[in-house]
Structure 1
Amino acid sequence: MRRLALTLLLLAALSAPASAAASQLIARNAQDVTLQVDARGRALVGYRAKGKTWSVLAWGAINALHPSADRSQAKLALDYAGGWGAYRKTVATGFENVCRPYSGPPLAWFVTGCTMPDGSDWALQAWQRSLPNLGVPPWKPLQSATELRLSHWSTDLPKLELWVNWAQGKHFDHVFGRYTYLGQPVYGYRATATGSPTDGFGRNIYLDTLDSAYGPGWKRENSFLAHTGTGVFCYGLYPHDPYPGYPATGRRPEGKGTRYRATAVGPGVLPDVTWEGGAPGPYDVTTDRKLADLQRAVYGADKLCKPV
């Protein structure tokens, strides 16, 4: 049953575009990024992309809502005309920035940020979310694009927890964990057949492996959904056939690495968060039993993946 659950997760693990209600996607492959925020709480993001200079006005959201089937997730309004769409004039000229140097918590993929007089934080992060799975090199431009993502928050950050143990005859590395915000699970209600959230609440966990059979450096292993109702997840690093639509690269080896890294897009307009840790090393029965007990405690009533 455990292998079946893991297989189902693998089938739903193709990387796909993030939902609109998240740390907000502003641009791809942006350069010369700037961030200003005025006293009305309107952020002005400047950057260069596609041979042009852009000014994007963002406003109207902070933090995140807990999952609910009866309401929409927090989402920033975006005006790529620099205010013309909202006010019939651009606001860059005379824009008074009141946001102070960033004093919030450390963030992975940090580009720039600032802290408002009311103590809330704004930040821009940039990372390659849409890399192909199983260590396959990108073959489409969007797959290698670096996404610039904007967030605004005043609470603690979401919490991404992972542990690494062993699976299937104790030969393969296996990760399990949970995604929470203010002690409540992060999850969605609907997703596509390939695992892309469609309701604004669901989140994928993007897992990278270091110095594996895929080659030196960090490579994308896979992405998988946090489970509905619990926010937990599990994944085994097994050999795979390429996914439908992938280049004919032959059977992919197991992605066992020396270290692992996971990233999750923040719920609502919260920052994206990461975890990084070492591989479990040679099998140890005492450690395995302790981690199996921990898995049971983390999963609770979740039945999609259980320790054996």
Structure 2
Amino acid sequence: MLAVLVLAGSAHASQLIDRNANDVRLMTNAKGEAMLTYKVGGKLKHVLVWGAINAKQPNPNEKQVKFSVDYSGGWGKYNRKIANYWTTFGNKCAGYDGPDLPFFITGCHAPDGSLWAVQSWQVPLPDLGFTPWTAQLSAYELHISHWKGPIAQLEVWSDWIYGGKFHDLFGHATYDGRPIYGFGTTSVGAPTDRFGRLIYLDTLDAPNYGSGWQRENSFVPHNPTGVFCYGFYTFDPTKGGYVHPSGQTAMRGPGVGKQYRLTLDGPGVTPDVQVMIDDPGDYDANDPSKVAYEKQQNAELDSILNGDKLCRQH
């Protein structure tokens, strides 16, 4: 089974601006700027964003592109000489005509032909199917992106590993035809540079977690292949850096569900992208169709490895 997201002619990723925003509006002008207007906790905010587009390919000697952000709405950028810049901003936002995006709030087609988009989703959900127990863990992050040209792409397949004992997902992440990866992670797998991006895995109606979508885990595409793989095992929430509610120390999972949702925090300042894939069901060595499917998926895995040493298990 293959799930693939291909959005030719556009690019995806984003930069965090705020949390739990509502009444979000976006303006763009002919100077390559974007003005976000929104409310948080009833307080009106104006945020000016500029200075970045698309993404650089991984290079340890360079820095990934990043927006400049003025939370005073332009007063800081223009040396405190222009008050209420949003009132004279010169909005040139044409209707958004880019690709469908997950968690999309609003977008613009800018005068130079580039696209801007705003997305809002629950990035910090706890892993291993825990229900968020703090406001921080249930927060919706507001992301903005700016791109023109090729986009990030996720390809994902599902099968089993270790002779059909465990359910498994594998795939690769690319941008402009080249692998997405970073140059380091923390001891618990978080990227240590802006080239590294996380893939967030959610599971639907997993019997061990309950109904609805739950966060199973997150992980990075591998350096230098952009390949990733994930086995649905049981996990100890007290080990590996997992955030868990006080007193809940029992083993968790496996998070096998009906369907899986993978969301890539795209490279540079391109939008976040997402792909969904069905679970293949339990393996049965006496079912010729399951045996043939596993053989086909193993061949698919071998075809994308490109030397990857971490995802060779069938």
Per the normalisation by structure 1, the TM-score is 0.90
Mapped to 2, the partners of 1:225 and 1:121 lie a distance apart of 26
Q: Which residue in the other structure is 2:262 paired with? A: 262
Q: Which residue in the other structure is 1:86 paired with? A: 77
Letter aligned with residue 230 of structure 1: T
Q: Normalized per residue, which structure has more helix?
A: 1
1:212 aligned counterpart, secondary structure: coil
Q: Which residue in the other structure is 1:66 paired with? A: 57
Q: Do residues 219 (structure 1) and 214 (structure 2) align? A: yes
Q: Which residue in the other structure is 2:272 paired with? A: 272
Q: Which residue in the other structure is 1:6 paired with? A: none
Number of residue pairs the alignment of both structures matches: 287
Deviations 1:16-72 (A, max 9, x none): xxxxxx611011000000000011011000110133110000000100000000110
Determine which of 286, 300, 307 is the counterpart of 2:292. Answer: 286
1:145 aligned counterpart, secondary structure: coil
Mapped to 1, the partners of 2:89 and 2:112 lie a distance apart of 19
Letter aligned with residue 292 of structure 2: T
Determine which of 298, 303, 313 is the counterpart of 1:307. Answer: 313
Q: Which deviates further from its counterpart, 139-148 or 289-298?
A: 139-148
Runs of 4 or more above 6 Å deviation = none
1:189 aligned counterpart, secondary structure: coil
2:150 aligned counterpart, secondary structure: coil
Unpaired segments of 5 or more residues in structure 2?
Answer: 1-12, 284-289
Q: Do residues 151 (structure 1) and 145 (structure 2) align? A: yes
Determine which of 8, 28, 34 is the counterpart of 1:43. Answer: 34
Q: Do residues 251 (structure 1) and 235 (structure 2) align? A: no
CA contact (8 A) 2:115 2:146 kept: yes
CA contact (8 A) 1:295 1:307 kept: no
Letter aligned with residue 307 of structure 2: A
Mapped to 2, the partners of 1:40 and 1:103 lie a distance apart of 20
Please show how residues 171-250 of structure 1 align to structure 2 within 5 Å: 171-213=165-207, 214-244=209-239, 245-247=243-245, 248-249=247-248, 250=250
CA contact (8 A) 2:167 2:282 kept: no
User: How far apart are residue 269 of structure 1 and its match?
Assistant: 0.4
1:290 aligned counterpart, secondary structure: helix
Q: Which residue in the other structure is 2:48 paired with? A: 57
Q: Which residue in the other structure is 1:75 paired with? A: 66
Per the normalisation by structure 2, the TM-score is 0.89
Q: Which residue in the other structure is 2:7 paired with? A: none
Q: Do residues 30 (structure 1) and 33 (structure 2) align? A: no
Q: Which residue in the other structure is 2:119 paired with? A: 125
1:27 aligned counterpart, secondary structure: strand
Q: Which residue in the other structure is 1:16 paired with? A: none
1:142 aligned counterpart, secondary structure: coil
User: How far apart are residue 117 of structure 1 and its match?
Assistant: 2.6
